[in-house]
Structure 1
Amino acid sequence: MSESSMPQTRACGFLIVKGDPIESFLLMKHPSRWDLPKGHVDEGETDMQCALRELEEETGITADDITVDPSFRYELQYVVSYKKKFGGADALKTVVYFLARLDRDVELKLTEHGDAKWLPWNPPHDIQEKTINPLLASVAEYIASK
């Protein structure tokens, strides 16, 4: 099946950083990998609305706790295999990430992840080759160009 004929799914999330310049960034722990706070877009939701909702649901960080960088947006696509969704078929997933700085310390309230960690900002990073590494490289490049 070609990518253009696959079922499609869309998710949005945030790279949350601390400090100016950046000192650290937030990662969420799944059983077998690190990830960022993100989730699937609900019907009628914008990408930003989805990212803000997922951030609050997964971490307790609200829109009032962060400053979103209005100029940064990172999008990637990859094929995922779903066990239940789409009848077990592969789907083309688009993920949009936004960048935001945490304005004040917030006690994380984890609802979907076993752990979370603030990792030191020290590019280049080697965390997850397909998704997180290119996002972090894009943020490093973006910051260097400002």
Structure 2
Amino acid sequence: MPQTKACGFLIVKGNPIESFLLMKHPNRWDLPKGHVDEGETEMQCALRELEEETGITADDIAIDPDFRYQLQYVVNYKKKFGGTDALKTVVYFLARLDKEVELNLTEHGDAQWFAWDPPHIIQEQTVDGLLAAVAEHVGQSK
């Protein structure tokens, strides 16, 4: 089975966490992320995708060096891999927004800051496990 890798960020506000950012796809919520380009590290990819999709730059955030979350699932790529299934690995990093920024959305119709109140039930496949892992990491799980 072909394999692909994407990286992104969970961006939070507040200390302790008060809210987190999700991007709106036509039928689900997701995080700013994208596929790793050749020669790119996971962090370089996550930072590039964050800026491309939201306008948030590396200078706007404080990255948590102790958090890295990885998940895998099967995706059917209609264009890539000739319409076959591929094993997708996604790596997420955690960062706190240090200053107010105006979002510049380029790939999503909408974005929303959600109140931090774990446990969260938003999107089982890609979001809920990450939010649970962050809650445990920061000692805010219920």
TM over 0.5: yes
5+ long unaligned stretches in structure 2: none
**In the TM superposition, what is the alpha-carbon distance from 1:77 to its structure 2 partner?**
0.3
**Aligned partners of 1:84 and 1:39: how far apart in 2?**
16
Equivalent residue for 1:99? 94
**In the TM superposition, what is the alpha-carbon distance from 1:110 to its structure 2 partner?**
0.1
Q: Is 1:133 aligned with 2:90?
A: no
Picking from 35, 52, 60, the partner of 1:40 is 35
Count residues in correspondence.
Answer: 140
**Aligned partners of 2:27 and 2:3: how far apart in 1?**
24
Secondary structure at 2:59's aligned position in 1? Answer: helix
Equivalent residue for 1:3? none
Equivalent residue for 1:114? 109
**Aligned partners of 1:99 and 1:57: how far apart in 2?**
17
Matches within 5 A, 1:1-146: 6-144=1-139
1:142 counterpart letter in structure 2 = H
Alpha-carbon RMSD across the aligned residues, in angstroms, is 0.7
Secondary structure at 2:49's aligned position in 1? Answer: helix
Secondary structure at 2:138's aligned position in 1? Answer: helix
Which portions of structure 1, spanning 4 or more consecutive aligned residues, are displaced by more than 4 angstroms?
A: none
**In the TM superposition, what is the alpha-carbon distance from 1:136 to its structure 2 partner?**
0.2
5+ long unaligned stretches in structure 1: 1-5
2:116 counterpart letter in structure 1 = W
**In the TM superposition, what is the alpha-carbon distance from 1:130 to its structure 2 partner?**
1.2
